[in-house]
Every structure is written in C-alpha cells, then in structure tokens.
Structure 1
Amino acid sequence: MHTQATLATRFARNTFVMRSDTPLAEDQMRRAAPSIFATGKHDSRSERYTYIPTIEVLRGLRREGFEPFMVAQSQSRIEGKTEFTKHMIRMRYQGHTAGQLQAKPEANEIIMINSHDGASSYQMLAGMFRYVCCNGLIVGTVSNDIRIPHKGNIQGEVIEGAFRVLDDFEAVDASTEGMKALTLEPAEERAFATAALALRYGERDEGQAPAPVTAEQLTEARRFEDQGPSLWLAMNRIQSNVMQGGQAGRTVQGRRTQTRPVGSIDRTVSLNRALWVLAEEMRKLKS
C-alpha cells in the first residue's frame, strides 16, 4: 500500500479531487480544494447567510479523531468564485491503530459537503471505502443524513452531526454483512444492473437510442477480487463501472466511444446513494 497522495487531477470537467491512503495534510488539501480554506462567504450571499468555516470544522473533527483521506471541489467559470464553491471531504474515524484499520477490507467514512456561495447546505453523510478497488461508496437509507442550513448559530451542531453519523455505522456494518451473505441469481444481478443503467443514463422509451453500454457490461468485474455471486460484490462491480466509466460503448449516432466517469459532487452522491438503496431493498426482498 503506497503512502503518497494522488496529485490533484481533473475529476470531471469542473471538479478536482485528491485522495490518499494516509491522512491528508492541509497543504495537500489546499492544492485540490482551496474553498475548504475560505475565510468568509461569497459576496453574493446576504447578511442572513451564516458562513460555516469548513477548515475550522475539519480541525475540530481532527481533534475528535477524524482524519481526511479524500477531498474534491467544484470549479467555477465566474472569476473569483472558485475559492467559495462546493467541496467534499471524506473522513475516517481513527479510533484504532493503522494495523487494526487495515485488517478490515472496508473503512467507514463520514462525508462532509459544504460551500460558501449558496450552492449547498452543510451536509454529513455516511460512506464506506473499499480498499481493494478504491471504491468510495455512499450509504443510502440505513443512516442519518445531516443537513444544516446556513442560518443562525450553528457551529456546535456540525461536530455533533459527525458523531450522530458515527453512531449509525453499526447499522451500516450490519447491512454490509447482510449483502455479503446473500447470493444473487444471474437474472437478479441483471435486474440490478438494468436499474443502475436507468439511474445513470435515464429511462429509455421505445424508439429512443439505447444507453451507450448494456446492463451486462455493468456487471463485468474489473479485478479478480470483485468476482463472485454475492449482492455485495455485484453492487461493487456495478458501482465501479457506473462511476468510473471507461467501458467501450456506442454514441447515439452509433460511433464507438468510451463511457465517461461521473465527476460532479452532486451526481456522485446521488448515484452512489441510489445504488446503495437498490442493494439494500434487494437484500430485504431476499432475506
């Protein structure tokens, strides 16, 4: 396992990301997500808009044992606004030694989203990171979704929100183990992939051009460790292909193409959560 952070790279046309297998330092985060360090709100916000200083929240969470392993930030075409745009931080609670954490194939994460330009409320979500494939899953309905509007005296709520999400990880772990223990039939896996295809590319009515890839392509394993009949592995295969792109497909005009990765913060969150909800509902149906 290497220890260097992946350099800030373009995550999509308007998003940059940095991730690491060790906690990120502030100078590393600043390179990819300078809006984390904004010292105030954008000029477009009114006096009623409460500025939530992301970096101060992050420093407070670090004192409580949370460490950042990934940051992402949206860019802006408006001059001077990039320093205030939406950003995302994925944090892990370091309550054990590094060796104990690495003994598990997944790490629970708290995902923090904020902006200083009115594009987002302050949010905290539950997530999970799978080491073998660098998948950054986002949990659906088994955990709290903390949303704090930029109004009033809210500094005390944000760190409390992190521990409320942390309390939910027992339910998240139980859901994960249930998915690992459940075997899907090939037809059930195709049904899951068909629903995921519609989430990614929209419903296709009769007469419309098909999606650039097939449901069967979404079930393809990118690595040996992803092969297997469990619901957990099927969800991870499909999530990797949906989110990372790179699969051979066809454009509406029939030309060969490669699917694009999902880049925007909003789309990343919504698709990941929807895929988790699909898997959780299938687990309930088959239990």
Structure 2
Amino acid sequence: MRLQSRNRINYQNRPLSNEELNEIVPSAFATQPWYAQSSRYAFVPTSNVIDGMRSAGFQPFNAIQSASRTLDKKFFTKHEIRFRANDAVAVVGDTFVEAILINSHDGTSAYELSLGAWRLTCLNGAKVSEGLAEIVKIRHTGNIIQNVVEATQNILLAAPKVVEAIAKWKTIDLSPAESRILAEEAHSIRFDDAAIAP
C-alpha cells in the first residue's frame, strides 16, 4: 500500500503537536487494533511510541497516512512519521537527516525504521538508500517503545555517512541533457503508469 503524498504536511520550522498529528495520521492514535488481529498481536499505539521518541530527544516534523478502501479502517491503516533529533546535528545546508517510522494497527506493517533526508529547497523527502543505512523492522511483540527508540538511536549512527554522501552528491553538476534524463527516469520510477502520470 503506497502512502499518498498528496496528504503530506510538513512544518520545517517546528515539530508537529499531537493535535496536528491526530488530524494528519489518526491511525497513529488508535486505542485498539483492527478487530481482525490475532491474540498474539501486541498492541502498542504509535502515539505511545511518539511520546517515547520525544522523551528520547526526537521530534515529529512530518506525517502521512495511506488511504483506506474500507472506511472504518481509516483509524488503523499504515502511517509514516518522520523524526528529527533535538540537537539537529545531522544537517547539510538545507537538508535534514531524519528517522522515518512506519507502522499500522491492521496487521499490514511491523514497526519499520529507516533513515531519510528532507531537503527544504525541493521538499522531496527522499529515503536513504539501503546501502547507506539499514532498515529495521520491529514486530508487534515485546517492549516496542524501547525497541523503537533504541533502533532509532542505532540507525542515526549512520547519519554522518549519510551527511557525507549528501554533501558529495551536492557537488555533482549535471548538464541540461543529463538533468532531463534524470528527471525523466525519476518520473517513470515514481509514476509507473504513464497514462495517469502528471
């Protein structure tokens, strides 16, 4: 299930409050799992993880939620929240390195953590390639909040490598022809169906 970018809201100068997050990603504030979950499913609302991340020094700056074909599943569906460290050490010019948390309460996703880069000038919010940083998946069992916070701290250890790669990429100058080829390739990757692509 693809998260819908048209719902993306980003406040670059301040973290999102719980009230704002509840409007953007209501499924993060579920009080119980989707009714079809098994008894083995350990339900911990993403809102508790958000509180744990804040306590550990990470603030939510961006959130998005997937659309659901089933109306009452809206409050359990897949959602993504992007966190930045309070100290904001992972900054390259206009680019922030972020911890990306993906989860759902309908059984379609484990907690997933990865690194991302958010560039203020183009607002593209690209995820970091797996070669630069690992993606961590945490099942809905055990001490989820502690596991997510620890995994976030661990993946952020790769931030210096990511910052270095971003700085290197910024030195690459493309000719107009190369820029066009890059844009066309990126467009075809983003929109696999040319008939519906903008």
Instruction: Report the TM-score, using the length of structure 2 for normalisation.
Output: 0.84
Cross-structure match for 1:39: 31
Deviations 1:46-88 (A, max 9, x none): 0112223211111111111111111111232324221111111
Deviation at 1:200, TM superposition (A): 3.0
Q: Secondary structure of 2:149's match?
A: helix
Cross-structure match for 1:112: 101
Q: Distance in 2 between matches of 1:109 and 1:127?
A: 5
Instruction: Determine whether 1:127 maps to 2:127.
Output: no
Q: Distance in 2 between matches of 1:179 and 1:54?
A: 34
Q: Residue 74 of structure 1 aligns to which amino acid in structure 2?
A: S
Q: Which runs of 5+ in 1 are unaligned?
A: 1-9, 203-210, 213-250, 253-257, 260-287
Query: Is contact 1:73–1:88 with CA below 8 Å preserved after alignment?
Result: yes
Deviation at 1:177, TM superposition (A): 1.4
CA RMSD of aligned residues (A): 2.6
Q: Which runs of 5+ in 2 are unaligned?
A: none
Q: Residue 101 of structure 2 aligns to which amino acid in structure 1?
A: M
Cross-structure match for 1:149: 139
Q: Distance in 2 between matches of 1:124 and 1:102?
A: 19
Q: Secondary structure of 1:82's match?
A: helix
Cross-structure match for 2:154: 164
Deviations 1:149-185 (A, max 9, x none): 2234444211101101211111101111111223335
Q: Secondary structure of 1:51's match?
A: coil
Q: Distance in 1 between matches of 2:44 and 2:121?
A: 35
Q: Distance in 1 between matches of 2:51 and 2:17?
A: 11
Instruction: Determine whether 1:173 maps to 2:163.
Output: yes
Bigger shift: 146-155 or 173-182? 146-155
Q: Which has the higher contact order (CA 8 A, sep 6+)?
A: 2
Bigger CA radius of gyration? 1
Q: Distance in 1 between matches of 2:52 and 2:170?
A: 35
Query: Is contact 2:92–2:167 with CA below 8 Å preserved after alignment?
Result: no
Q: Distance in 2 between matches of 1:201 and 1:28?
A: 29
